[in-house]
């Protein structure tokens, strides 16, 4: 009966919900310079005020927590459920084709604009779920709170501020990921390494190496400059490496130097096997060339030993681990810069259940030190809510009821807003197999999926708080 009521309600309020999403998408809420009462800049603050005004007009009690987050409350008694969404967005480029990033457009059932899928659309879906339960007069025994953050994309200082002042609810879900339910988020090992050595004029030698911009992105491009070795020798070695790795190489000669550009395929750091790491491909090639084993090449050979191309699991580094629930540990060298007599770099590891500082970071620190590099490595434990926990089983039941699909809890290598919450999981709003172009050009949300998500959220409120 409740499902039929919700179907009718959202059919009647479809356009209104889309219009309210558009109200928020029109606000450029990329993080900016802090101002009084605006810890993350004017854009996130404006989006928060607009969302709270929207909720206030619907008849909800709202509160602005020092400009960090806003809350929307509904229901009697103690709080049972938090829904945790965010209103800040990632920066935009000039490569959008369907519409400008902050000019939302609905086309062929898809709503385009920055934040439509991540995470303003899902935030409004959660708000409308609360509104539906209220407007339909469905009785609750406990209350629900929508938490609207403003710094999820840049470190989540908003949520840290909030949870220093407020206890988490017994159950929390964030509509900022995928369906069915994500109950396991792998741990993370992030490392920053450096090295220095004495200058050498030995020939032939490596002059420079540059690859990667962010630790959590597998680079699709890498460049090195060598001197004293012919382009013919490089080309011959490059052909063999291309056949082995799929990485392609371009050579540019200038006087006695040759620039080698490696082309691979970029991927998210949590899914390195989805890409083809140009950085490690170029390491492979350099180690095949007759370059002098000076301080630079000693470190290059060391990195090639620890991060051989195609080893996504940290086997060579000695940190591979598998768990039947979370899957494999992944490890990718993603940033490397070498110039003169100095080297800096970063790697990104997503660790299976059972990994820790001692069996992951300490092992990598020792391996780097043995190869002449100093490493700072920090391990963040995994997040795991058991599959039989009520928050997981009830949300899976909602998903199966409204989609007709079988639902199984998921483990991911990435992290979500709920990583540090005891009973927090991610629930929606992306349906299986849908690529919403998150963080890219022409980001979109499928309107019918947002409507269906709102119905599931409303059912979850009733099931968990009723």
**Residues tagged active-site:** 88, 152
* Cβ neighbours, 10 Å, residue 168: 19
Q: How far is residue 100 CA from its own chain's centroid?
A: 23
Give the up-direction half-sphere exposure of residue 303: CA atoms within 13 A in the CB hemisphere.
34
Residues 22 and 45 sit within 8 Å (Cβ to Cβ):
no
466 DSSP 8-state letter: -
Strands (E), 93-204: 105-107, 110-112, 143-149, 171-174, 177-178, 181-185, 187-196
Angstrom distance (rounded) from CA 406 to CA 445: 22
Alpha-carbon Rg of the chain, whole angstroms?
25
Q: How far is residue 416 CA from its own chain's centroid?
A: 7
142 DSSP 8-state letter: S
Burial of 419 (0-12, 13-18, 19+ CB in 10 A): buried
170 DSSP 8-state letter: S
Q: Please calculate the CA angle 237-239-340 and round it to the nearest 5 degrees.
A: 45
323: three-class secondary structure by DSSP: strand
Number of H helices, E strands in the chain: 10, 26
């Amino acid at each position: 009966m409740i499902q039929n009521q919700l179907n009718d309600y959202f059919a009647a309020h479809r356009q209104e919900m889309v219009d309210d999403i558009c109200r928020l998408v029109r606000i450029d809420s990329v993080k900016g310079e802090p101002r009084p009462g605006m810890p993350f800049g004017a854009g996130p603050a404006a989006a928060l005020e607009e969302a709270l005004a929207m909720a206030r007009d619907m008849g909800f009690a709202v509160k602005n927590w020092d400009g960090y987050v806003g809350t929307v409350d509904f229901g009697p008694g103690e709080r049972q459920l938090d829904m945790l969404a965010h209103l800040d967005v990632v920066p935009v480029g000039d490569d959008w084709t369907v519409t400008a990033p902050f000019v939302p457009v609905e086309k062929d059932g898809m709503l385009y604009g920055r934040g439509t899928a991540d995470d303003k659309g899902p935030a409004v879906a959660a708000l409308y779920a609360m509104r539906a339960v209220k407007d339909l007069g469905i009785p609750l025994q406990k209350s629900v709170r929508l938490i609207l953050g403003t710094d999820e994309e840049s470190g989540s200082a908003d949520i840290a501020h909030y949870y220093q002042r407020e206890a988490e609810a017994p159950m929390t879900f964030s509509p900022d990921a995928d369906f069915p339910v994500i109950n396991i988020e792998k741990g993370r090992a992030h490392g920053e390494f450096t090295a220095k050595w004495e200058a050498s004029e030995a020939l032939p030698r490596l002059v420079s190496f540059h690859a990667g911009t962010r630790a959590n992105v597998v680079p699709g491009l890498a460049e090195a400059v060598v001197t004293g070795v012919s382009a013919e020798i490089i080309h011959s070695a490059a052909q063999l490496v291309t056949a082995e790795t799929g990485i392609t190489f371009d050579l540019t000669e200038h006087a006695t130097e040759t620039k080698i550009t490696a082309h691979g395929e970029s991927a998210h750091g949590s899914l390195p096997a989805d890409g083809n790491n140009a950085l490690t491909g170029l390491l492979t090639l350099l180690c095949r060339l007759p370059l002098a084993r000076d301080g630079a090449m000693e470190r290059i050979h060391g990195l090639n030993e620890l991060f051989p191309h195609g080893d996504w699991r940290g086997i060579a580094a000695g940190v591979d681990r598998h768990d039947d629930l979370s899957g494999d540990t992944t490890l990718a060298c993603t940033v490397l810069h070498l110039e003169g007599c100095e080297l800096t770099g970063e790697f990104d590891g997503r660790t299976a259940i059972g990994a820790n500082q001692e069996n992951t970071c300490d092992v990598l620190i020792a391996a780097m030190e043995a190869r002449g590099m100093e490493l700072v490595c920090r391990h963040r434990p995994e997040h795991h809510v058991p599959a039989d926990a009520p928050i997981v089983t009830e949300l899976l039941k909602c998903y199966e009821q409204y989609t007709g699909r079988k639902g199984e809890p998921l483990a991911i290598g990435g992290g979500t807003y709920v990583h540090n919450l005891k009973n927090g999981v991610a629930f929606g709003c992306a349906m299986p197999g849908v690529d919403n172009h998150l963080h890219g050009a022409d980001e979109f949300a499928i309107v019918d999926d947002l409507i269906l998500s709102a119905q599931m959220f409303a059912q979850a409120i009733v099931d968990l708080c009723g």
